[in-house]
Amino acid sequence: MNVALIIIFAFLALAIFLGIRARRGRDMDLEQWSVGGRGFGTIFVFLLLAGEIYTTFTFLGGSGWAYGQGGPAFYILSYGCLAYIMSYWLLPAVWRYANENRLHSQADFFVSKYGSPALGVLVSLVAVVAMVPYLALQIRGLGLIVSAASYGTISATVASIIGVVAVVVYVIISGIHGSAWTAVLKDIMVLGVVVFLGLYLPFKLYGGIGEMFHQIQAQKPDFLTLPGQGYSPAWFISTVLLTALGFYMWPHTFGSTFSAQNERVFKRNAIFMPLYQLVLLFVFFVGFAAVLKVPGLEGDKVDLSLLMISKDTFSSPVVGLIGATGLLTALVPGSMLLMVSSTLLAKNVYKAFAPSTTEAQVGTLAKILVPFVGLAALLFALSSGQAIVLLLLLGYSLVTQLFPSLLFSLMANNLVTKWGAASGIIVGVATVTYVTVTGTTIGQLLPFLPQAAADTNIGIVALAVNVVVLLVVSFATGGLAVRREQSA
Amino acid sequence: MKLMYLLAALPFIAILGGIVFANRVEPYVLGLPFILFWIVLWVVLTSGIMATIYRIDPANREDDSE
């Protein structure tokens, strides 16, 4: 065991210790546990929502894509910005309804709006399926960190298993109480490490940021822009749109908005959140610094770029600190995702079929489900072999399918019926699944289309199919009639 | 009111539409390739735009006296 590994495991122990301490002497009911009693002001909701930006996806995935793809990685900086603009109007509307009806989860929202517990089951299942790749990428990240810090003594597979065990144990021992404190520690460390690496590496290795980009441009022309096909501007536009629309559709993000004290909180946050995102710029700098210095990583190995260049540049204790930061960026969101998906399965799926289940039984069942959801994510992580960014994009393609029926449900006269909502979601998810499993592209399905259409993100195409089906089925099942009655 | 929505639409137009024209390395601005500078610029401008919208939004005016 070397110094780097010892530091990483020390931080894991610290995180678990913080979790145990936070739990002592506090017993929360479901209202307290899931929405914090609805008493959080601007700063806390800001931290809650902002903390979700810094996951392994940004830390390893963001730098990995800057390293592997170059220009296309810039989409990661673009979509949050547009999502925050929409949040100014979307979140207050969601919050108002959730608060008036004392709702706890995203699935509750659909159940209440469409008057259909069955729709709640569907929404929960889609959300959990979408969260599996998201969780898988955190586990992949943990595995990469442990394996890299072991300097080759622990294989990536064994390290991934260690990663999933760590997350599962962490969730079972500490629950949500641990996440809050560890999240603060995580954000401080990420901020420090990313800004340091993003400035130090370009200046040390290239003599400056501008100098670094000039050298990359000289050796790999066009690497810094979007290519003519593949990850082209058409891909960029459709992907930014897809991820911006899906941004608040993740059950854990949607759910954290319920914790706000009033709707003003979201409007103020919309001003500051875009600036907080600029940390991503430094993540990109790290990835680009690695391009000419640790060449040769391909496929899902690109996610190693940050760790590799750190190992080449720094001594083992510093690598340990960087690894420990990475560990926290995977542990905190990973535990969130694991808890939310297990709770959704217990509360909004199981309880829908067995309404007599008590709150306490739901809690117990949720805990029992934790290792199984973790195992599903581990199998997914080990089998897919895709870069972290592509795993998240798959999750986004699925979860964004919930957006149309949510948006329609917020309108004064909702012309969408529960049948329309359900059909749209099912068709959208089925489209994404078919294309992902068979590995077809739009270009292959519809070869007569121009290149720009062929590069369009499949999630957006599925979303369009979703909306068409949603409207047709709604009209067929009386959505229009209801609307006429209401307006008459 | 209308001005508010127009302002909110600007970053969408600039990032989604503008990327077609901004997809280039030259000229470098502040050491960044132009495409990256363009996106960073709009992230910063979005923050300013949201602050302006927050000011002029009549929905926020009612209890400004608090």
Tell me the nearest-neighbour CA distance from A48 into chain B, angstroms. 19
Is A29's pLDDT higher than 50? no
Minimal Cβ distance to B8: which of A85, A211, A264: A85
Looking at beta carbons, which residues of chain B come within 8 Å of A451? none
Looking at beta carbons, which residues of chain B come within 8 Å of A76? none
To the question of pTM greater than 0.90 for the whole model, the response is no
Q: Does A88 touch chain B (CB under 8 A)?
A: yes
Tell me the nearest-neighbour CA distance from B25 into chain A, angstroms. 7
Average pLDDT over residues A286-298: 86
Say whether A274 and B20 touch across the interface (CB within 8 A): no
pLDDT value at position A30? 47
Comparing alpha-carbon positions, the chain B residue that sits nearest to A218 is B25
pLDDT band of residue B38 (cuts 50, 70, 90) is very high
Percent of chain A past pLDDT 70, that is, above it, reads: 87
Tell me the nearest-neighbour CA distance from A402 into chain B, angstroms. 21
Is A24's pLDDT higher than 70? no
Minimal Cβ distance to B43: which of A81, A237, A267: A81
Distance of CA A409 to the CA centre of its chain: 24
Q: Does A173 touch chain B (CB under 8 A)?
A: no
Of B50, B18, B6, nearest in space to A78 by CA: B18
ipTM of this model? 0.90
Comparing alpha-carbon positions, the chain B residue that sits nearest to A242 is B16
- What is the overall mean pLDDT for chain A? 81
A109-113 long-range Cβ contacts below 8 angstroms, 24+ apart: A109/A254, A109/A406, A109/A409, A110/A402, A110/A405, A110/A406, A110/A409, A110/A421, A111/A348, A113/A409, A113/A414
Comparing alpha-carbon positions, the chain A residue that sits nearest to B30 is A210
Percent of chain A past pLDDT 90, that is, above it, reads: 4
The CB density around residue A312, as the number of other CB atoms within 10 Å, is: 13
pLDDT value at position A283? 92
pLDDT band of residue B65 (cuts 50, 70, 90) is very low
pLDDT band of residue A200 (cuts 50, 70, 90) is very high
pLDDT value at position A482? 52
Of A79, A131, A70, A91, nearest in space to A277 by CA: A79
pLDDT value at position A163? 84
Is A133's pLDDT higher than 80? yes
State the best of A81, A242, A264 to mutate against chain B, taking most chain B CBs within 10 Å: A81
Minimal Cβ distance to B31: which of A209, A233, A241: A209
The CB density around residue A91, as the number of other CB atoms within 10 Å, is: 23
Q: Does A208 touch chain B (CB under 8 A)?
A: yes
CB hemisphere CA count around A159 (13 angstroms): 22
Average pLDDT over residues A118-130: 89
State the angle between helix axes of A233-246 and A388-399 in degrees (0 to 180), rounded to the nearest 10. 60
pLDDT value at position A62? 87
pLDDT value at position B66? 39
What span, in angstroms and rounded, lies between the C-alpha atoms of A99 and A479?
26
Size of interface A-B (CB pairs under 8 A): 97
What tens digit of pLDDT does each residue of A389-417 get?
Answer: 777 888 888 888 888 888 888 887 778 88
Tell me the nearest-neighbour CA distance from A305 into chain B, angstroms. 20
pLDDT value at position A52? 66
| Phi, psi torsion values for A260, nearest 5 degrees | -70, 150
Average pLDDT over residues A233-248: 88
Q: Does B53 touch chain A (CB under 8 A)?
A: yes
CB hemisphere CA count around A351 (13 angstroms): 23
Q: Does A82 touch chain B (CB under 8 A)?
A: yes
pLDDT band of residue A33 (cuts 50, 70, 90) is very low
Q: Does B4 touch chain A (CB under 8 A)?
A: no
pLDDT value at position A487? 45
What tens digit of pLDDT does each residue of A355-371 get?
Answer: 887 877 887 888 888 88
pLDDT band of residue A51 (cuts 50, 70, 90) is low
Average pLDDT over residues B45-58: 88
pLDDT value at position A481? 54
pLDDT value at position A387? 73
pLDDT value at position B41? 93
pLDDT band of residue B62 (cuts 50, 70, 90) is low
Give the residue, A436 or A398, on which the prediction is more confident. A398
State whether the Cα torsion A52-A53-A54-A55 is positive or negative.
positive
Say whether B54 and A277 touch across the interface (CB within 8 A): no
pLDDT value at position B64? 47
Is A485's pLDDT higher than 60? no
Looking at beta carbons, which residues of chain A come within 8 Å of B12? 82, 85
Minimal Cβ distance to B31: which of A82, A210, A236: A210
Looking at beta carbons, which residues of chain B come within 8 Å of A209? 31-32
Is A284's pLDDT higher than 80? yes
pLDDT value at position A463? 86
pLDDT band of residue A196 (cuts 50, 70, 90) is very high
Is A69's pLDDT higher than 60? yes
What span, in angstroms and rounded, lies between the C-alpha atoms of A134 and A394?
9
A175 sits in the region (left: phi over 0; alpha: psi -120 to 50; else beta) called left
Is A142's pLDDT higher than 70? yes
Q: Does B21 touch chain A (CB under 8 A)?
A: no
- What is the overall mean pLDDT for chain B? 84
Average pLDDT over residues A415-442: 81
Minimal Cβ distance to B25: which of A77, A217, A281: A217
Q: Does A271 touch chain B (CB under 8 A)?
A: yes
